[in-house]
Amino acid sequence: METQANHMMAHLPFLRRYARALVGSTEAGDALVTRAVETALGEPEVHRLDDEPSPGSRLPLYGLLNRLAGDGPASPPGARVHPIEEALTRLPEHKRRLYLLVSLEELAVAQAAEVMSLPVDGARAALADAQNAVREQLVANILIVEDDAIIAYDLGETVLAMGHKVAGTAATMEEALDTAARTQPTLALMDIRLAHGGSGIVTAQALRERSDLPIIFVTAFAEELRRRGLDQLGPVIRKPFTREQIERAITQAVFTPRPR
């Protein structure tokens, strides 16, 4: 039983992330996970809790969350809903869940199809419909704070290739705050070392004082966040990076429910 409980603990961060996106709020998502944990621990073999934690061994748990969630998101009246979440709620529920499983949880289409009890070809077609619908309805507005012109250009090209917009680029804290005030970005890609000795950490804190803007740090100095105990400011992508890393981080950031 101890091994099963430890395996469940390893799954929890992923289950909480999916549940929160699934039902549309942090509180409801965590309550859903609590119910799922109680059910899964009561039927450990059915939910593969004897297996070493991996994306594959989480499939029955994702399916359990789907069953317990019922028909779809039920955000309380007046709750703040991110525009991307709003776009997803316009999709048929099976397409929305497929989209979350593949884009947020990084499951293969065949794995997501298994969770949803759909044929793989049908899941692939439904996922394509969902991707097209979201792409047509929404783009993220992304601020790039980077003092290296070549890296800033590469990040901008990646953002545009994903179908998002570049709100602007900035090399200093002053430029970043000014651009953010003018363009109202929905996400920022932030270096830690800025021009003229500026700090991306201080810049991120200043931006957070104005809004709950999600921030992804793209830096060679990730240890500065840990040393200051500020890991909560945002995830880190280490330089040198690949475009796939940037694309994955942006997708996860914009689809994670925002604080109310």
CATH number of the domain within which 133 lies = 1.20.140.160
Residue at which a domain ends, from 109, 137, 165: 137
Cross-sheet strand order for the sheet of 187-190: 165-170, 141-145, 187-190, 215-219, 236-238
Q: Does the structure show a pLDDT above 90 at 184?
A: yes
Give the helix ranges, DSSP H, for the chain: 2-23, 26-42, 59-69, 83-89, 93-99, 109-116, 120-137, 149-161, 173-183, 200-210, 223-227, 243-255
> Per the domain annotation, does 77 fall within a domain?
yes
Using an 8 Å Cβ cutoff, are 146 and 191 in contact?
yes
Query: Does residue 120 sit in the same domain as residue 13?
Result: yes
In this prediction, residue 253 carries a pLDDT of: 83
Regarding whether 123 and 40 lie in a shared domain, the answer is yes
Q: Are residues 124 and 43 located together in one domain of the fold?
A: yes
Task: Give yes or no for a contact between 50 and 228, defined as CB atoms under 8 angstroms apart.
Answer: no
Q: Tens of pLDDT along 10-56?
A: 999 999 999 988 887 888 899 999 999 999 999 999 999 989 999 89
Q: Does residue 197 form part of some domain? A: yes
Give the pLDDT mean for 206-212: 91
What does the pLDDT read at residue 64?
94
Whether the predicted pLDDT of 91 surpasses 70: yes
Higher pLDDT, 190 or 255: 190
Number of domains within the chain: 2
Distance of CA 112 to the CA centre of its chain: 17
Domain of 181, in residue numbers: 141-255
| Claim to verify: residue 55 and residue 172 sit in the same structural domain | no
Q: Do 31 and 103 belong to one domain?
A: yes
Report the share of the chain in percent with pLDDT over 90.
66
pLDDT at position 229: 85
The larger pLDDT score, comparing residue 83 to residue 181, is at: 181
Q: Are 145 and 170 a contacting pair, CB within 8 Å?
A: yes
Is residue 138 a contact partner of residue 254, using CB atoms and an 8 Å limit? no
For residue 92, CA distances in Å to 72, 108, 129 come to: 9, 20, 10
**Single pTM value for the model:** 0.55
- Whether 116 and 66 have beta carbons less than 8 Å apart is answered as yes
In this structure, the answer to whether residues 161 and 69 fall within a common structural domain is no
Are 120 and 155 within one domain? no
Rounded to whole angstroms, the Cα distance separating 157 from 159 reads 5
* Domain-terminating residue out of 137, 154, 177: 137
* Residues 101 and 17 placed together within one structural domain of the fold: yes
Please tell me the predicted confidence (pLDDT) of residue 222.
Answer: 83
